[in-house]
């Protein structure tokens, strides 16, 4: 069986930074540290951090008065920030800088008198955070039909921002619908779309030209992983979202000569290894990786955590520290 890995895949810079913030906080302040919501949407990561002393909460009322509190990579609303301040919590903000940039853009457009449209999925924590960071009415649209249903005069000056786990390709149709409905629309340039989302989707499309079946390693509540699965299916390739290799079913491999594997931005490389090991149980595996975009982007952790960093394991080992190609190429 040929197994081809997408490139890039797995951890993005925002996820590495968020996990590293938890690891450094544990080193500096000692356990427990409290993380509001899953730091990133991946059970392996959450369990690994729990084992080192992180406690995951959904509400700040669960954090004791002197608790070190970390906001997840998805970002939080102003109300949550204010709640943390009112409780006097020591907050470390692991919101991805690209998500924070969307918040800033939204506030900028609103200050300039525009009606705000957010393109994203209702209920996703990033969307809830963004809705709560822009202090004015924000209209959430998920489809082109939602745009048609907007009860706003055509002359309304509007601006849009997007959930970061939607790519340029995902949002193209909705943005076009906005331009059809409203003559005066502004929005961020395509260079502002999350690089990691776009790169992983482009790599998946390349993979779909070669693979008979594709596995996307990621969590069911991971927005970008679900989107990768949808793109594989749209390309006509059976594509399965798996949390671990144990979920791979023999019937999914029937007649497949070439298996493609990718991983969502919050899925660690150890889980990719796990999927490859699971495939080896069905027969010999010939492993290769697509030539693709090398990503060099890194985001800095908060200044107060720069003095520590001797115990960074999950963000590195969960990333490319465990490259499956190292096994076959002696790297």
User: What is residue 305's DSSP assignment?
Assistant: G
Cβ atoms of residues 180 and 174 within 8 Å: no
| Least distance in angstroms from the C-beta of 44 to ligand SF4 | 17
Q: List residues near ligand SF4 by CB under 6 A.
A: 12-15, 73, 96, 98-99, 164-165, 194, 196-197, 224, 265
Q: Per DSSP, what are the bridge partners of residue 286?
A: 2
Who's near 273: CB < 8 A, 6+ residues apart? 322, 324
CB closer to ligand SF4, 252 vs 299: 299
Q: Which helix (H) or strand (E) holds 228?
A: helix 223-234
CB closer to ligand SF4, 99 vs 270: 99
| Least distance in angstroms from the C-beta of 292 to ligand SF4 | 16
| Least distance in angstroms from the C-beta of 95 to ligand SF4 | 9
| Least distance in angstroms from the C-beta of 226 to ligand SF4 | 13
Number of H helices, E strands in the chain: 12, 13
Who's near 112: CB < 8 A, 6+ residues apart? 159
Task: Residue 28: name the closest of 303, 291, 308 by CA.
Answer: 308
Neighbours of 66 (CB within 10 A): 9
Cβ atoms of residues 114 and 134 within 8 Å: no
CB closer to ligand SF4, 35 vs 196: 196
Nearest residue to ligand SF4, using CB?
14
Of 38, 126, 128, 269, catalytic: 126
| Least distance in angstroms from the C-beta of 33 to ligand SF4 | 20
CB closer to ligand SF4, 169 vs 212: 169
Task: Residue 226: name the closest of 248, 204, 251 by CA.
Answer: 204
| Least distance in angstroms from the C-beta of 16 to ligand SF4 | 9
The C-alpha atoms of residue 94 and residue 32 are separated, in whole angstroms, by 17
Considering all CA atoms of the chain, what is the largest pairwise distance in Å, rounded to the nearest integer?
Answer: 63
CB closer to ligand SF4, 15 vs 287: 15
CB closer to ligand SF4, 3 vs 13: 13
Let me know if 294 is a catalytic residue. no
CB closer to ligand SF4, 98 vs 211: 98
| Least distance in angstroms from the C-beta of 74 to ligand SF4 | 8
Separation in Å, CA 190 to CA 161, 168, 169: 11, 7, 10
The C-alpha atoms of residue 203 and residue 130 are separated, in whole angstroms, by 28
User: What is residue 244's DSSP assignment?
Assistant: S
**3-class secondary-structure state, position 32:** coil
Task: Residue 55: name the closest of 302, 317, 47, 272 by CA.
Answer: 47
- By annotation, the residues acting in catalysis are 126
């Amino acid at each position: 069986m040929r197994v081809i890995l997408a490139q890039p895949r797995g951890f993005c810079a925002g996820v590495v930074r968020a996990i590293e913030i938890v690891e450094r906080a544990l080193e500096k302040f000692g356990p427990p540290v409290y993380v509001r919501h899953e730091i990133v949407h991946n059970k392996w990561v959450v369990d690994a951090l729990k084992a080192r002393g992180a406690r995951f909460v959904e509400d700040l009322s669960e954090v004791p008065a002197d608790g070190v509190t970390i906001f997840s990579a998805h970002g939080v609303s102003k109300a949550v920030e204010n709640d943390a301040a009112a409780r006097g919590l020591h907050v470390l903000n692991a919101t991805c800088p690209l998500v924070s940039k969307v918040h800033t853009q939204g506030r900028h457009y609103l200050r300039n008198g525009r009606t705000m449209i957010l393109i994203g999925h209702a209920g996703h924590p990033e969307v809830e955070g963004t809705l709560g960071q822009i202090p004015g009415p924000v209209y959430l649209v998920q489809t082109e039909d939602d745009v048609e249903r907007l009860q706003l005069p055509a002359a309304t000056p509007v601006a849009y921002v997007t959930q970061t786990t939607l790519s340029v390709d995902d949002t193209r149709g909705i943005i076009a619908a906005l331009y059809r409905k409203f003559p005066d629309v502004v929005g961020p340039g395509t260079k502002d779309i999350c690089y990691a989302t776009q790169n992983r989707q482009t790599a998946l499309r390349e993979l779909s030209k070669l693979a008979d079946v594709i596995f996307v390693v990621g969590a069911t509540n991971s927005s970008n992983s679900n989107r990768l699965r949808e793109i594989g299916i749209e390309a006509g390739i059976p594509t399965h979202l798996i949390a671990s290799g144990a979920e791979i079913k023999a019937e999914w491999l029937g007649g497949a000569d070439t298996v493609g594997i990718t991983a969502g931005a919050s899925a660690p490389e150890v889980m990719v290894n796990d999927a490859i090991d699971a495939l080896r149980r069905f027969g010999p595996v010939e492993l290769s990786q697509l030539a693709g975009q090398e990503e060099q982007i890194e985001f800095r952790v908060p200044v107060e955590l720069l003095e520590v960093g001797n115990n960074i394991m999950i963000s590195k080992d969960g990333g490319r520290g465990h490259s499956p190609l190292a096994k076959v190429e002696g790297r």
